[in-house]
Amino acid sequence: MSAHKEKTVAELAAHVGGSVAGDSSIVISGVASIERASEDEIAFVEDAKMLENALGSRAACLIVPEDFFPESEGKCLIRVARPKLAFALIAEILHPPKRLPASIHPTANIAASAQVGEDVYIGAHVSIGERANVGDGTQLYHGACVGDDVTIGRDCIIHPNVVLYDGISLGDRVILHAGVVIGADGFGYVPDENNVRHKFPQIGTVIIEDEVEIGAATCIDRGALGETRIGRAAKIDNLVQIAHNVQIGARVVIASQTGISGSTVIEDDAIIGGQVGMGDHARVQSGAIIGSKAGILPGKIVRAGVWWGIPVQPLEDYKRLNAHMNRLPQLREEVKELRRRIAELEERFKDEHGDSK
């Protein structure tokens, strides 16, 4: 949820570096899709095929590619190089995140040794442990649990029922959605001679760098002896599991239901689709894009490019193999027909020449 603001078209165009065609004094109060936009909202269009429909919409203004010069029939336009990006940047200022005024709810439990910065909101039943440090401007919503020796940077948003285990560290402007768990023990056991499994020490930490956003119910385990690290501006979806000692680089994007095994390294700017499974000690190099439901074997190095499949392989190889797989039913029938013909030829040969044995 967010609080609405109003800006003129001229102000919005200046914010995104666009040029205006039409009345730049129009006041815009929100963003919307082309289909749902009202007379005080802005929408965007990237595809020329959709432009005619967009020009007939109720939207007060449209964001269009800079090489679009349609007959707008009075419709106000903002021309930019990348309309979808401009739309997102405009949404950030028209729909800023909700911020509650600085206060501490009477039901919050804050350790005497904890340090709470200025302009901090602490909601109902929030718990803050010994020697924890909460940075200026941070918002902790109801039910959040902050362990001992936790550091939270400036202007973070910690949504309801987030759990931050002891000793973990968040940078500035980090957003954790409801039910996120940071710093739980990693899944590591050592069997003895009777196959009884003994817990390997899970005494490391988790470091979340600046401007990371983590979706609801995602779990990030602490390092076994070292650290699990999430790089600056990484964006992680809901229901993702990140195991101990994983290293995730800057600006990495990870979609929902992905599972990343221990000591895996994902380098800067990689993109990971939904439901991807990664074995331990794998490495995804910068520039790699991994499609949904791919499987990465332990120790595998995935280089730059687009990858898909189980086990993961370059997209062109996957498409080629998939085409062959789709032909298997036809191939099966062809093989059956060949066997039938061979059997007929063998019978005919026997009839004409007798059994050669």
Q: What is the DSSP letter of 95?
A: S
What is residue 276's predicted lDDT score, i.e. its pLDDT? 97
C-alpha 215/C-alpha 48 separation (Å) is 34
Give pLDDT tens digits for 74-102: 789 999 999 999 999 999 999 988 889 99
Lowest mean pLDDT among 59-68, 106-115, 180-189: 59-68
CATH node for 103-315: 2.160.10.10
Are 192 and 209 within 8 A, CB to CB? no
Kindly report the average pLDDT of the chain as a whole number: 92
Domain ranges of the chain: 7-94, 103-315, 327-357
C-alpha 317/C-alpha 309 separation (Å) is 9
C-alpha 283/C-alpha 17 separation (Å) is 38
Indicate the fold that domain 7-94 takes in CATH: 3.40.1390
Active site residues: 244
Are 145 and 127 within 8 A, CB to CB? yes
Q: Output 331 or 236, whichever has higher pLDDT.
A: 236
CA torsion sign for 187, 193, 196, 200 is: negative
Are 99 and 105 within 8 A, CB to CB? no
Q: Calculate the CA 69 to chain-centre distance.
A: 35
